[in-house]
Structure 1
C-alpha cells in the first residue's frame, strides 16, 4: 500500500497558511461533527466547555474560527461534538524518547505533519484541523494518544485537543499530568508522556477518574484481563506483553520492534494497519517518522515542508 504524507508549517494560524490546509478538508470535518454544534446554541455550549478547561487556547480557537469565517466554525473547532473514533496503537518510552505505532484506517488519517507556533513551537501529526495524534514541544515534552479499549462516550474534551493543549501549555511530564488529571474527556483514551527525565502513562475516560501509571509502555486497554473477543480483534495484551518483555530498551530497539509483529500490524482492510511509526526525541527537538523502507526526519531547527510517498504493510 502506498501512502502519501505531507509536512506543513502553519505558523500562528493567522497568516493564511493554516487556512490553506483547513479549507479543503472542511466538508469532511463538518460531516464528522454532530449537527447541533453548528447551530448557535450548540456552538455557544461547546465554546463554554472549551473555555472552562482550555482557557489558554481560547484566543487561538477564536483566531482560527475567524480565519475560517464559516457558520459554526468555533463549535466545530472545539471538537466537543466530534463523532467518536477508535484506533489501535502501541506506544513506549525510553530515556528521552517516545516511540509509537499509529494503527488506523489510512484513508481516514490526514497524514499531515504540522509545525505550529500557536502559543509555543510544536511539531506533531495533525488531525481534525488543529488536533494532534502525537507531538513534541520546544520545552522537551512529547505526548501521544491511543484508544483506551472501552467504547464509551460522554461529555468532555476531544483527546486530539488534549494532546494539543498539553504541548502548548506544559513543559514536563509532571506538569502535563497535573493539567490532564481533572480534565473531562469524551472517550476512553490512554496517553503516554515523555520528557528528558521520565515517562508516564495516563488512563482517561468519561466514566472514570484519570489514573497515572508509572510505566513505560501502553497499548489499547486500561484494565486486565481483556475480554476474549477484544483481544482477538486487536491483540492489545499480546502487544503490551511484547513491549514489557524488552528490558530497558533503547529508542532504536523500540523502533526496530515497532516495525515487526506483533507490534507492526497489516490489517489495513479492517482499518487496523500501522500507518506510521514515530520516534520523538523531544530533548533534541527532532522526530523521525519511520516505515519499513523509508525514514523522514523533521525538527525545530530544520522543519522542511513538502510531500513524500511510502510503502506500508
Structure 2
C-alpha cells in the first residue's frame, strides 16, 4: 500500500505568468526529476519541430504556447526540452484504462494509469488574457486528463489503442484545449475534428444543456455517438480497437446495468470508487490502476475528487472560486494498493 497526495494549485493571471509560476514550483521537484530521469532511461523515438509545434498551438490554443514559454523561462530550459516534457505534441502516450459515466447533471470518471506518471496536482486556473477558467487534475503539468470549465463543459478521455500514431497532440493537451476553448459539446466536437491526433482515444463531453457524447478519435478518423458510458474500446471505429477487450467490456457491462436504473450522482460515484463494485481497478503494474475518481456538475459548477478507492470525495465550489474566493489549500490524501513509485514523491 502506498500513501498518495495531491497538492492544490490556484492561479489567476496570464498564461505566461501561469507557466512561469509553475516553472518555479517545478525547480528541484520530484516531478521534474522523475520526468527528466525517464528520458535518460528511454531515448525519445520522435523528433519535435519547434516551428511546426508552435504553428499548431497558435491555431488551436495560443495561450498555452505562452504558458510553455513561461515554463521554459523559469526553468531556464530550451524550448526543445519544454516541448518534449510539457508540450504533448508528437510525443507518445502510454496505454491506460479509465471508465466514464454521465447523467443529465453529472460526469463521474475513474482515471486508471501508472502511478509514476501522476503529477499529484489539482489545478484551478482563471486566465486574464484568453480562454476559459478550468478546474481539474493536471497531467504532465500543462495537460488535463479530466476537468470542467467556467461554461460548465466537462470532459474526460479514455485510452483506446496506440498503433500507427499520427503527427499531432496527445490527449493530455487535447483535453486541456477542449476545456480552455470550448463552451459546449458542439464546440468540442468541432475542435476534435480539426485538431491533429497523435493517438487513438475517446473523449466524453457533457455540457449545461445535458448534452453528452462520446467522440471517438484516431489519427485517421473522428466519429461521434450519443452515449453516457465509455471504457476502453471504440463502438464506431471498431477497426481501430485492440485485440484484447475483455476487461473494457466487463466494466462497461457493470456500468450499463447500474446506469439503466436512473442512477444518481452519489450512487454513480460509489459505483466507480468502491473497490467491491467491479469498476475500480488495482492493475497499476499494467498501466490501468485507478488513481483518482472525479465528478463534475456542469449546472452547479461543482467538482468532487478522491484519491484511491473507498473514499468520500472532497468537494470544490468552482462557482464561488470564479467569483474570487479561494479554496482550501490543504493537500488531498489517499491510499492505492501498489508499491510502485509516484511522480510527485521521491
Q: TM-score range by the shorter chain?
A: 0.7 to 0.9
Contact 1:9 1:17 in 2 (8 A): no
Deviation at 1:293? 3.2
Aligned-pair CA distance for 1:62: 3.3
C-alpha distance in 2 between matches for 1:74 and 1:48: 16
Q: Which residue of 2 aligns with 1:21?
A: 25
CA deviations on 1:38-71 (whole Å, 9 max, x unpaired) are 7xxx323322333344345434443443343311
In 1: Cα distance, 2:153 partner to 2:108 partner: 13
Q: Equivalents in 1 of 2:313, 2:277: separation in Å?
A: 19
Q: Give, in whole Å, the separation in 2 of the partners of 1:149 and 1:165.
A: 21
Indicate yes or no: 2:6 matched with 1:5.
yes
State the TM-score, normalized to the length of structure 1. Answer: 0.87
Kindly report structure 1 stretches of 4+ aligned residues shifted beyond 6 Å.
225-228
Could you tell me the TM-score, scaled by structure 2's length?
0.80
For these two proteins, the number of residue pairs brought into alignment is: 307
Q: State whether residues 114 and 126 of structure 1, in contact with CA within 8 Å, keep that contact through their aligned partners in structure 2.
A: yes
Unaligned runs of at least 5 residues, structure 2:
321-325, 338-346
Aligned to 1:69: 76
Describe how 1:53-64 pairs up with structure 2 within 5 A.
53-55=60-62, 57-64=64-71
Preserved CA contact (<8 Å) 1:115 1:303:
no
The alpha-carbon distance between structure 1 residues 226 and 252, as it changes in their structure 2 partners (threshold 3 A), is farther
- Quick one: structure 1 residues 226 and 253, their matched pair in 2 at CA, closer, same or farther if it must change by over 3 Å? farther
1:252 alignment partner in structure 2: 266
Q: Given the alignment, which residue of 171, 185, 200 partners 2:213?
A: 200
Using the alignment, how far apart are the partners of 1:165 and 1:311 within structure 2? 31
Contact 2:114 / 2:288 at 8 angstroms: preserved in 1?
yes
Partner secondary structure for residue 148 of structure 1: strand
Q: Deviations over 1:272-309 (max 9, x none)?
A: 22111111113222211134134222232252223132
Task: Classify 1:75/1:150 alpha carbon distance in 2 versus 1 (closer, same or farther; 3 Å).
Answer: closer
CA spacing shift, 1:189–1:228, aligned 2, 3 Å: closer
Q: Distance in 1 between matches of 2:98 and 2:110?
A: 5
CA contact (8 A) 1:11 1:18 kept: no
